[in-house]
Structure 1
């Protein structure tokens, strides 16, 4: 399932990534431009040309790759405007910026004006170890990108202006006790609630697989009117990989399961009512769409919601290829069905 054009480069990619991460300041470069090639997803469902999946209608998508082997491990993705300019973060310590190119019908067809720059540490240099650079979740909050990191668990804010690539991290308080966070299953989701929602623009984080004594996921409201810890009910086979808020304030959680070669990969989206998110609460919600290897998916690890020119709510999902020959970088886009959107 490796993307075309990347065959035979896995070993080189892994070696180069390790070398660059170990090289500290050697990562900084004047030219951050990135050439990205895309291949369209012609038919999302492999068995039939259908569009409806639960409460979502498939719009379009593509797999993408680059000859720059540092482009791997996309773990967070946020639009900076209405479905065009974006900022992504990788779990190898890079910012990826660019623009989603679209055809005349508004379907995503590729990535233009792409850039790749190292995420800087407090000393103004790229992180020297993978454990320091493991960015997982990201929220756009005003003029800041707020990032959650795994391995060495922490949350930091980076200024978007004049250039996020030159910004140094401003540490934010960790809202969940460090002892409760698993080493590689920490704060996978960072999302900013709409200002007009019950959470009034607060930042929310949800763990991937850091659970309490009852098996529920740790989560927290970082700021706003009522900061504090809450919990998300966890299904045994599923782990949270990202989340985003709908315009009305409901939280969508992107989840995945992997059952090995027999069970394969599964992706689903769960909708949590925003007015139920408060300190001390245990929240849950219905699954609005689910996908497996009968569809053209991969390790979908990022989700963002936005409003298109027609007023419809769109969801954009992006995968983490883990630098693997067997996985793909993918961008998939869906429209929230009108009846589902009205309930928000």
Structure 2
């Protein structure tokens, strides 16, 4: 977790960027001093936005999916960044987590054409431990996933793998965690940096309605499939997701028809970043299943993408869906915090 007097670059940046690049980032940012947020309080911050009108490159989009627009976000507050997951409370207001151990809440700003132009009313708060204090260890607060359920939130952590419930969300700065949830497999088998990147609650009409679905990023079983679990309900158990083309799962969100949309990311020094959206049929997500699905979108570094880690959906009155995707900049001067928006037309 970034704290006053420490460099504002998480360990994860060094792992992703490699030796030379990571060293330059550490030197450039070692003197920055984040604000200190007392436990129980929230920090208002100003976030600037540079509008993105063209996705660029040559992305693959399935019929019915279009790019609407986006914004590159920045702030003078060094705590801002490292977005891991985002969930919308309504059409404007959102809640998210940073993998440096912070909550973020705010509202979308839209221009006259209805496209995202920035953020307002943004506030940050530390993810507290059970005693109401802020952890000094990044290892304990590497928050990667988020699901909302009324006035409580499920948060998934990696490195020290666990999913806990935070409440009350009405007083976010004072929200405290529960004991970790039980899983149908031993969490010690999960990859240290490939834990629960996706948490989502199955909607009404789903075969697993009301259950919490947890999907890991890159933790593989003996057959090379990705560990996932259904928590709660009459069909609780474990299932697997079939990986494809070295992409890693970074978030998920349910569509109004009950299908599950996966956000996937690929990164290497040789090929740069990649982003993909994959659609999993609702009926296929059952205990002991191995699921796969069609690719709706794929783009590489030539497009306006980055390390895309957060996804949520906003249903529209006409039956279409807005897809909001955010990136984790790893607090690196070589990466950006992006918020991109797509529109998925209703199926015939």
Same fold (TM over 0.5): yes
The one of 31, 42, 47 equivalent to 2:53 is 42
Asked if residue 195 in structure 1 is aligned to residue 204 in structure 2, the reply is yes
- Going from structure 1 to structure 2, the CA distance change for 1:13 and 1:94 (only over 3 Å counts) comes to farther
Q: 1:157-203, CA deviations, whole angstroms, 9 ceiling, x for partnerless residues?
A: 11244312211101242413112211111111111111232221211
Check 1:315–1:330 CA distance in 2 against 1; reply closer, same or farther (3 A cut).
same
What's the TM-score once normalised by structure 2's chain length? 0.87
- 1:10 deviation in Å? 6.2
Q: Does 1:238 align with 2:247?
A: yes
Superposition pairs of residues 207-246 of structure 1, within 5 angstroms: 207-246=216-255
- Alignment match, 1:143: 151
1:299 paired residue number: 307
2:75 corresponding residue in structure 1: 66
Matching of residues 115-264 of structure 1 within 5 Å: 115-175=123-183, 176-260=185-269, 262-264=270-272
RMSD, matched Cα: 2.2
- Once residues 302 and 45 of structure 1 are traced to their aligned partners in structure 2, the CA distance between those partners, rounded to angstroms, is 21
Pair 325,309 (structure 1): closer, same or farther in 2 beyond 3 Å: same
Q: Tell me the secondary structure at the aligned position of residue 298 of structure 1.
A: coil
Provide structure 1 residue ranges, at least 5 long, that are not aligned to the other structure: 1-7
SS of residue matched to 1:72 = coil
Whole-angstrom distance in 1 between the partners of 2:39 and 2:273: 36
The question of whether the paired residues in 1 share the 8 Å contact of 2:263 and 2:310 is answered with: yes
Matched residue count: 323
Q: Report the alpha carbon displacement of residue 105 of structure 1 after superposing the two structures with TM.
A: 2.5
When normalised by structure 1's length, the TM-score is 0.88
Consecutive unaligned residues of structure 2, counting only runs of 5 or more, are: 1-23
Structure 2 residue 111 is the aligned partner of structure 1 residue 103: yes
**SS of 1:147 mapped into structure 2:** strand
Aligned partner of 1:3 in structure 2 is none
Contact 1:208 1:241 in 2 (8 A): yes
Cross-structure match for 1:326? 334
Residues 1:86 and 2:97 are matched in the alignment: no
Which string of whole-angstrom CA distances, capped at 9 and with x for unpartnered residues, describes residues 218-252 of structure 1?
00001122111000001251111111111111111
Structure 1 CA distance, aligned partners of 2:156 and 2:42? Answer: 27
Residue in 2 that maps onto 1:5: none
Number of the residue aligned with 2:281: 273
**Can you list the C-alpha shifts for 1:81-130, whole angstroms capped at 9, x where unaligned?**
12x00001000000000001112322111000000111111110111100
| Alpha-carbon separation, structure 1, partners of 2:266 and 2:25 | 27
- 1:42 deviates by 2.5
Distance of 2:31 and 2:237 partners within structure 1: 42
Deviation of the 1:295 alpha carbon: 1.1
Contact 2:39 2:132 in 1 (8 A): no
How many Å apart are 1:265 and its aligned residue?
1.2
1:311-343 superposed Cα distances (whole Å, 9 cap, x missing partner) = 3211100000000001000000000133xx34x
- Residue 188 of structure 2 aligns to a residue whose secondary structure is helix
Measured in 2, the distance between the counterparts of 1:44 and 1:160 equals: 38
Q: 1:320 to 1:161 in 2, by over 3 A?
A: closer
Whether the 8 Å contact between 2:40 and 2:174 is mirrored in structure 1 is: no
**CA distance in 2: counterparts of 1:129 and 1:67, whole angstroms:** 24
1:276-298: CA deviation from partner (whole Å, max 9, x where unpaired):
11111111111111111221001
